[in-house]
Amino acid sequence: MAINVGDHNLARNIIFDNIRVERIEEGQLFHFRVMYNKKYNTGPGRGVQNIIFRNVYYTGKNENPALIEGYDSQRRISDILFEIINVNDK
């Protein structure tokens, strides 16, 4: 599950609920990033706010660590709630 914002966008008030993931071949289970790429964006994103992940079940292996990365102190990731996240029965 990924949220990547650029182009002065703000992602907020999003709920991911009752999700089953069997495997990840490349990437992470969670990937949130405020970014700016000169080639593709007109500017950095404004942030990611108020995101809820509820009842997420993952039954794979060899996934990469989660990535949560703001752009700077003004354009950041905030108010992320993880509620009942089960990774291989843990």
Query: Taking residues 39-48, what's their average pLDDT?
Result: 96
Give the pLDDT confidence score for residue 73 in this predicted structure: 95
The answer to whether residue 26 scores a pLDDT higher than 90 is: no
Task: Indicate the DSSP class of residue 66.
Answer: P
On whether the CB atoms of residues 55 and 18 are closer than 8 A, the answer is yes
* Span 14-20, average pLDDT: 97
Q: Which residues on adjacent β-strands are paired with residue 53? A: 16, 82
The DSSP code sequence of 52-63 is EEEEEEE--SSP
pLDDT in tens, 45-88: 999 999 999 999 999 987 889 999 999 999 999 999 999 999 99
Average pLDDT over residues 2-28: 95
Q: What is the mean pLDDT of the chain?
A: 95
Residue 75 one-letter amino acid = R
* Cα–Cα distance measured from residue 35 to residue 23, given in angstroms and rounded to the nearest whole number: 26
Q: What is the pTM of this model?
A: 0.86
